[in-house]
Amino acid sequence: MRRPLRLVALLAVSTLAVASLASAQTLPRLVGKTGPAFTISLKTASGARVTQVKAGTYTLVVTDRTGTDAHNFHLTGAGVDLKTTVGFVGTKTWRVRFQRGKTYRFVCDPHELAMHGSFRAV
């Protein structure tokens, strides 16, 4: 009787280990873009504009196409302050955690009045 019980416990532990490994590798992805014109956006992987997200951890991929307009992408909110520099052109990948009930704001620092957006974590 003892052996089968141990086997069941061992199987349960290995199933848990596999499940947590899988969730670490498949974080939901968000896509941020700034420039080349006076535009800034944050969208889901399927292209929908982000107005709210489920609280949790995400992979955020930001493409900064500054050109001569000198834009950046700056995301702030509870526990988050991430930005590309104004001169940067390219892609950054950030791991970011959004807290429930908090509002997050993204702007282009030099053109904050024209280029901004926000969303809430629920």
By the criterion CB under 5 A, which residues form the site for Cu ion?
A: 71, 108, 111, 115
Give least dist CB 99 to Cu ion, A. Answer: 27
Which residues, 6+ apart, have CB-to-CB distance to 46 below 8 Å? none
Judged by beta carbon, residue 60 or residue 115, the one nearer Cu ion is 115
Give least dist CB 54 to Cu ion, A. Answer: 29
Give least dist CB 115 to Cu ion, A. Answer: 5
- DSSP label at residue 37: S
- Phi-psi group of 77: left, alpha or beta (phi > 0 → left; psi -120 to 50 → alpha; rest → beta): left
Cis peptide bond N-terminal to 4, omega within 30:
no
Judged by beta carbon, residue 29 or residue 111, the one nearer Cu ion is 111
Judged by beta carbon, residue 18 or residue 113, the one nearer Cu ion is 113
Judged by beta carbon, residue 108 or residue 121, the one nearer Cu ion is 108
Token duo for residue 73: 């992408």
Q: Contact, 89 vs 59, CB < 8 A? A: no
